[in-house]
C-alpha cells in the first residue's frame, strides 16, 4: 500500500513538473531596450514579476555600453528579483531572435525608436514604444521632434498604423495592434481628465481650456541637465517649455482641439515622481455637481485604473504615486459654469511603464490589472 501511494505521488509530481514546464514555455517572451532609464527600470521590474511573461531580455544601446557595466549593479529595481534578468546586454537583432522575443518594448529616445521600429515590424515583432516617435498623426505636431526618416514612405505608413496606447479610450484598437505608441505622461493626465466632458459636448472650447501641470523631476529623464540638477530643483518651483512642450500635440490630436483652444503650461516640482494637472474649463450651460459626477462615472464605468473622486474631494500626488491609477476630481463654481479639474498620476507608471504593461495585457487578451496590482 505504501509502495502504491509512493508511485501515485511520483506520478502527481511528474504531472506538476510537466504542467509547470508547459506554463513556462507558454509565457510571453519580451525584450526591453532602454532598461536603465527611469521608465525602463520600472518596466523591467513590472515585467520581471508579471505572471504571464518570461524573464525579459534587458538591452541597452551601444552608446550606453560601459556606462555601468553589463550587470545591473546598483539597480535594485531589476537585480536580485529571482528571474535571472540582472544582465543588461548590448542590443542586437540576433539576440532577440535567439531568445524568441515576440514583444519588444522601447524605452529609448524618440529618434532611436523611429529608426528601429521599421526593422522590428519587418521581423514580425509587436512593439510598445514609450517614446514620442509614433504618437502623432499630424505633420505640424510631429515637427517639434525633427525626425529624419531613412525611408519616408515606410515611416508614413507606420505612423498611420500606430495606435495611440491610451487603454481607457482605445482598448479595441490596441488589442490587435502591431505598434502601440505609449502616451506621454502629461498628456495622459490631461486627456483622461477632459475626455468625458468633451465627449459629452458640454465644454465651451471657444472660451479656452487651461492646463496648469506639474511633474516630478524623473519626468525629465535620467540624463542630468542644468535644470534638473539637485541645486536647481531643490527648494524651487519653475515653469518650462511654455507654448512649446512636445506633449501639446498629443493632447490636441486626441481631444480634437485646435491650438487656439488650449493653453498647456508644464512645471517642475522638487519631488522625484508624480504629476498633478489642474485644468480650467467653462461649460456651455449651467450644470450641477451630480451631473458632472455622472458624466465621469458613466464614461469610465468598468475602467480598472481610473478613480473618480467625489465632488470637491480632490486627488493628491501622494494618493496615486507608486500605483497605476489616474485619480480624477473636480470643483464646480457656484454659477455652475466654471469647472476646475484635478488629475493625478505617477509619471513612471500610469504615465509610462505601468501603461505599457496595461497595453501589453490588452494586446494579448489578458486582464488589464495583470502584473500591476
Q: Where are the domains of the chain?
A: 2-182+353-363, 185-345
Total Cβ atoms within 10 A of residue 51: 9
Q: What is residue 234's predicted lDDT score, i.e. its pLDDT?
A: 80
Concatenated DSSP letters for 319-369?
Answer: HHTTSS-EEEEEEE-TTSSEEEEEEEE-TTTTTTHHHHHHHHHHHTT--TT
How many Å apart are CA 209 and CA 211, to the nearest integer? 7
Catalytic residue selected from 185, 295, 326, 344: 185
Q: What is residue 230's predicted lDDT score, i.e. its pLDDT?
A: 79
Total Cβ atoms within 10 A of residue 17: 10
Reduced to 3 states (helix: H, G, I; strand: E, B; else coil), residue 231 is: helix
Active site residue 326: no
Instruction: Confirm if 267 and 316 have CB atoms less than 8 A apart.
Output: no
Q: What is residue 68's predicted lDDT score, i.e. its pLDDT?
A: 47
Instruction: Confirm if 307 and 286 have CB atoms less than 8 A apart.
Output: no
CATH class for the domain made up of 185-345? alpha beta
Instruction: Confirm if 203 and 194 have CB atoms less than 8 A apart.
Output: yes
How many Å apart are CA 217 and CA 268, to the nearest integer? 6
Q: What is residue 10's predicted lDDT score, i.e. its pLDDT?
A: 54
Q: What is the pLDDT of residues 273-314, one digit of tens each?
A: 999 999 999 999 999 999 999 999 999 999 999 999 998 899
Q: What is residue 12's predicted lDDT score, i.e. its pLDDT?
A: 55
Please name which of 116, 100, 141, 101 lies closest in space to residue 34, comparing C-alpha atoms: 116
The two beta strands, 338-345 and 275-282, are: antiparallel
Distance, first Cα to last Cα, the chain? 46
Query: 18, exposed or middle or buried, with CB in 10 Å at 0-12, 13-18, 19+?
Result: exposed
Q: What is residue 158's predicted lDDT score, i.e. its pLDDT?
A: 97
Q: How many CA atoms lie within 13 A of 28 on its CB side?
A: 23
222 Cβ contact partners less than 8 Å away, ≥ 6 residues apart: 36, 37, 38
Mean pLDDT per 10-residue interval, the chain, length 373 residues: 51 52 72 94 96 95 56 51 64 96 97 96 98 94 89 95 98 98 97 98 98 89 72 82 90 96 95 96 98 98 97 95 98 97 98 98 97 94
Please name which of 323, 347, 338, 202 lies closest in space to residue 281, comparing C-alpha atoms: 338
Burial 245-283 (b: 16+ CB within 10 A, else e): bbbbbbbbbbbebeeebbebebebbeeebbbbbebebbb
2-182+353-363 and 185-345 agree in CATH topology: no
Q: What is residue 77's predicted lDDT score, i.e. its pLDDT?
A: 54
Please name which of 87, 74, 151, 145 lies closest in space to residue 117, comparing C-alpha atoms: 151
CATH of 2-182+353-363 given 3.30.420.40, 3.30.930.10, 3.40.50.720, 3.30.2290.10: 3.40.50.720
Burial 95-121 (b: 16+ CB within 10 A, else e): ebeebebbbbbbbbbbebbbbbbbebb
Amino acid at each position: 500500500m505504501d509502495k502504491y501511494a509512493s508511485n501515485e505521488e511520483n506520478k502527481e509530481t511528474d504531472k506538476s513538473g510537466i504542467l509547470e514546464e508547459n506554463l513556462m514555455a507558454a509565457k510571453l517572451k519580451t525584450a526591453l531596450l532602454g532598461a536603465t532609464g527611469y521608465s525602463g527600470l520600472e518596466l523591467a521590474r513590472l515585467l520581471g514579476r508579471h505572471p504571464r511573461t518570461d524573464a525579459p531580455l534587458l538591452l541597452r544601446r551601444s552608446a550606453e555600453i560601459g556606462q555601468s557595466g553589463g550587470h545591473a549593479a546598483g539597480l535594485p529595481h531589476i537585480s536580485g528579483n529571482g528571474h535571472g534578468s540582472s544582465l543588461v546586454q548590448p542590443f542586437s537583432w540576433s539576440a532577440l531572435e535567439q531568445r524568441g522575443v515576440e514583444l519588444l518594448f522601447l524605452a529609448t529616445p524618440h529618434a532611436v525608436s523611429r529608426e528601429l521600429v521599421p526593422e522590428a515590424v519587418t521581423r514580425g515583432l509587436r512593439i510598445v514604444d514609450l517614446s514620442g516617435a509614433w504618437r502623432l498623426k499630424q505633420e505640424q505636431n510631429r515637427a517639434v521632434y525633427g525626425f529624419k526618416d531613412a525611408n519616408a514612405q515606410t515611416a508614413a505608413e507606420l505612423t498611420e498604423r500606430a495606435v495611440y496606447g491610451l487603454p481607457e479610450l482605445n482598448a479595441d484598437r490596441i488589442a490587435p495592434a502591431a505598434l502601440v505608441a505609449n502616451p506621454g505622461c502629461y498628456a495622459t493626465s490631461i486627456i483622461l481628465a477632459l475626455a468625458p466632458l468633451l465627449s459629452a459636448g458640454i465644454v465651451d472650447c471657444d472660451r479656452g481650456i487651461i492646463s496648469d501641470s506639474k511633474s516630478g523631476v524623473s519626468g525629465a529623464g535620467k540624463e542630468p541637465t542644468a535644470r534638473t540638477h539637485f541645486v536647481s530643483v531643490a527648494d524651487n518651483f519653475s515653469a518650462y517649455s511654455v507654448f512649446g512642450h512636445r506633449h501639446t500635440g498629443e493632447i490636441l490630436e486626441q481631444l480634437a482641439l485646435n491650438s487656439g483652444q488650449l493653453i498647456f503650461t508644464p512645471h517642475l516640482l522638487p519631488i522625484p515622481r508624480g504629476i498633478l494637472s489642474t485644468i480650467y474649463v467653462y461649460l456651455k450651460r449651467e450644470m450641477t455637481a451630480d451631473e458632472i459626477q455622472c458624466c465621469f462615472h458613466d464614461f469610465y464605468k468598468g475602467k480598472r485604473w481610473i478613480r473618480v473622486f467625489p465632488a470637491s474631494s480632490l486627488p493628491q500626488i501622494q494618493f496615486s504615486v507608486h500605483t497605476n491609477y489616474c485619480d480624477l476630481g473636480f470643483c464646480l463654481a457656484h454659477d455652475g459654469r466654471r469647472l476646475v479639474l484635478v488629475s493625478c498620476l505617477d509619471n513612471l507608471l500610469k504615465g509610462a511603464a505601468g501603461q505599457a504593461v496595461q497595453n501589453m495585457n490588452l494586446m494579448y487578451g489578458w486582464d488589464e490589472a495583470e502584473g500591476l496590482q
